Structure 1
Amino acid sequence: MAHSDILSQPDRGLGLDRPQTEALLALFSRCDDLREFGREVIQSVVNALMDSQAQEACGAPRGSRSPERVNSRNGYRERSLSTSLGDLELRVPKLREGTYFPEGILERYTRVEASMVALVREMYVAGVSTRKVGLVAEELGVSSLSSSEVSALCAGLDEEAEAFRTRPIEGEHPYVWLDATYMKCRTGGRYASVALVTAIGMSSSGHKEFLGCACFDSESEAAWSEFLGSLRDRGLRGVRLAVSDAHAGLVAAVSRVLPGCSWQRCLTHLQRDIRGHVHNLAGQALAADLVRACAGQADADVARAAW
């Protein structure tokens, strides 16, 4: 549709009047692509909304005399807001009395929109350096995201993770799966291998829940005892069976910290151990199938005979 057709039918589509349509077309003609056009439109709309809110706070239009006026305008504060469409240059109105902040339009003291914050945090958790995160943001059109700003955006991750890791454990969890893995972590300015221990529980309703995790220098009985004790202090109760590998320290910690709880060797770890004693692929697959068949018996006597 030509520009003249759009102007002659202003009520079609967006329902804009002629001046609004002309302004939109003029804005579109100045932009090189739809991304830039979207950024310009959002920037114009946000600035217009803030002007409207400031005018309502004053009680009268700008420059007019009215007995209903309760405040007056006093210029603007230039602010930059980083978004997925690029940097928005915003003009936040200032008032002579009090302070105006665009509640509902911008998050207080936030210069980056939520989607960009989520993207930056995801890259940070994945191990991308703050400098490279800034370069990625620049490719997305955000030119004002420095390494220090990336660090500030990710500063709250530790608090959120700690709150999740130490939250109260509610209800009973009759079954608990325990495991550990070694991974590289940055501690004291250097990378070192640490043991990350984890616990997953199944509630009485049959739903699995991630109960917690912790890092230790090594997977020892003392470390497992401390970790299981922290789970118990947070409310873990009703555990009837713990499933894990055959680590001696872990088995001893379960017996000491969770009295009355039985222990069972993890089927997957058992299969791995048995396959390690078989030296051909066909034999390894057969061994895994046999272990699975033995463990799948519903009758205890049959299961023992199968073993």
Structure 2
Amino acid sequence: MSENIETLVDVSPPTPGDEPEESPQLSAAEQDAVRELVRQARASGAALTGPGGLLKQLTKMIVEAALDEEMNEHLGYEQGEPEGRNRGNSRNGKRAKTVITDNAGPVQIEVPRDREASFDPVIVKKRQRRLSDLDQVVLSLSAKGLTTGEISAHLGEVYGAEVSKDTVTRITDRVIEEMQAWWARPLEQVYAAIFIDAIMVKVRDGQVRNRPVYAAIGVDLGGHKDILGMWAGDGDGESAKFWYAVLNDLKSRGVRDVFFVVCDGLKGLPDSVNSVFPLATVQTCIIHLIRGTFRYAARQYWEELARDLKPIYTAPTAAAAEAALEELEEKWGRRYPAVIRLWRGAWTEFIPFLDYGACCRIRLQEPVQG
């Protein structure tokens, strides 16, 4: 994740009458199935970026929407409009093309064609195979809460002087239309796990500045992973108060209950989660704990610390993990007392997944290597 800026907030409990509906009752077999889903999610990760990440879904959606609007501009009419009848040129289906992005890996897109083969796309040029720097743009465009001006500024930077401002405006409108449908789509009632994290993204509107983008990835009871939503936050860092609003947004779109919410160690975040989903178990992501550990230690000790941390997060039981933490404190406590305080402070939210196999991880960015 980006810089972990902790924010203390006062989250009020739900007022009378706002209590959540009673959660669905699961049989013993169904509970075992949920546990298995959690094991699988933790073993494979719930990545946003990377070759197996979910960001490629949004990349495909946004690039194809822009390409369709480029074709409308090229032909002078939209698909299906009567103005296009009996004209010399028209749409001629689509062709599949695989492009490589920096953080999402290979993405297969559908590029529209015209009968005269005169369409020369801009966002993905002919014979172009790599889309550099597009991931940050996709992250920004996918975040609910950006203004039309901010979205237009991002697309304007992508297209540069190759297309007119009017064309950028039309592409902006098309992308916003696609994203609004994506933001508002209904969600599952129950999720086995929801992984949440915030990353810093450069947002352009006159000037460039970093803003946190809040992302939630869900694992449903069928084991499917999906980006539930992304939200553009305010300020310079992550806020538990903003997460409270994000989780309420998920609830308003149909989520009634979640078994595990996997997150970093942001102060106030467990309160935000349990104010919206009182029965959810809050689990601290081990990757964030390891990153935090390295921040307190000199680089020359990272490799040794990584070896000494492993018995904690791979322990078969909470008791075994506690014993491993005691050994860590005995060896490193005098040199790095802040490391021990970090793990002690996150302990309640760290130990729940010890009952479910190997450690969980969410990779919104690459983890610190140590």
Give me the TM-score of the superposition, normalised by structure 1: 0.54
Conservation of the 8 A alpha-carbon contact between 1:224 and 1:249: no
| 2:133 maps to 1:149 | no
Q: Deviations over 1:185-226 (max 9, x none)?
A: 235x44443221111111122222111111121333331111
Partners of 1:204 and 1:132 in 2: how far apart?
Answer: 39
Shift of 1:117: 6.8
| AA partner of residue 210 (structure 1) | I
Partners of 1:132 and 1:254 in 2: how far apart?
Answer: 37
Q: Mark the CA change 1:161 to 1:275 in structure 2 (over 3 Å): closer, same or farther.
A: same
Which residue does 1:257 correspond to in 2?
276
Give SS of 2:195's match.
strand
Shift of 1:118: 5.7
% identity of equivalent residues: 26
Which residue does 2:254 correspond to in 1?
235
Which residue does 2:211 correspond to in 1?
194
Instruction: Give the ranges of 4+ consecutive aligned residues of structure 1 lying more than 6 Å apart after TM superposition.
Output: 126-129
Give the counterpart of 2:90 among 106, 110, 130.
106
Give SS of 1:271's match.
helix
Conservation of the 8 A alpha-carbon contact between 1:131 and 1:146: no
| 1:66-145 mapped onto 2 (5 Å cutoff) | 101-102=85-86, 106-107=90-91, 114=112, 116=121, 119=124, 125=137, 130=156, 133=159, 145=163
Partners of 1:185 and 1:88 in 2: how far apart?
Answer: 32
Partners of 1:227 and 1:292 in 2: how far apart?
Answer: 33
Conservation of the 8 A alpha-carbon contact between 2:315 and 2:321: yes
Give the counterpart of 2:287 among 246, 256, 268.
268
Give SS of 2:312's match.
helix
Shift of 1:244: 1.1
Give SS of 2:210's match.
strand
| 2:190 maps to 1:206 | no
Q: Mark the CA change 1:279 to 1:157 in structure 2 (over 3 Å): closer, same or farther.
A: same
Partners of 1:224 and 1:100 in 2: how far apart?
Answer: 48
Shift of 1:172: 2.2
Conservation of the 8 A alpha-carbon contact between 2:91 and 2:112: no
Q: Deviations over 1:260-304 (max 9, x none)?
A: 1121211111001111222133x2122223333321233333233
| AA partner of residue 114 (structure 1) | P
| AA partner of residue 298 (structure 2) | H
Which residue does 2:264 correspond to in 1?
245
| AA partner of residue 239 (structure 2) | S
Partners of 1:158 and 1:131 in 2: how far apart?
Answer: 17
Shift of 1:148: 2.4
| AA partner of residue 85 (structure 2) | F
Q: Mark the CA change 1:237 to 1:287 in structure 2 (over 3 Å): closer, same or farther.
A: farther
Give the counterpart of 2:197 among 157, 179, 185.
179
| AA partner of residue 201 (structure 2) | M
Shift of 1:171: 4.7
- Figure out how many residues of one structure are paired with residues of the other and give that number: 199
Q: Mark the CA change 1:99 to 1:221 in structure 2 (over 3 Å): closer, same or farther.
A: closer
Give SS of 1:174's match.
strand
Partners of 2:214 and 2:208 in 1: how far apart?
Answer: 18
Segments of structure 1 that go 5 or more residues without pairing to the other structure are 1-81, 90-97, 138-144
Q: Indicate the larger mover: 226-235 or 294-303.
A: 294-303
Q: Deviations over 1:238-265 (max 9, x none)?
A: 3121111111132221121111112121
Q: What's the RMSD between the two structures over aligned residues?
A: 3.5
Which residue does 1:286 correspond to in 2?
304
Shift of 1:131: 7.7
Q: Mark the CA change 1:132 to 1:225 in structure 2 (over 3 Å): closer, same or farther.
A: closer
Q: Mark the CA change 1:203 to 1:132 in structure 2 (over 3 Å): closer, same or farther.
A: closer
Partners of 1:106 and 1:224 in 2: how far apart?
Answer: 47
Q: Mark the CA change 1:237 to 1:99 in structure 2 (over 3 Å): closer, same or farther.
A: closer
| AA partner of residue 275 (structure 1) | F
Which residue does 2:42 correspond to in 1?
none
Larger radius of gyration: 1
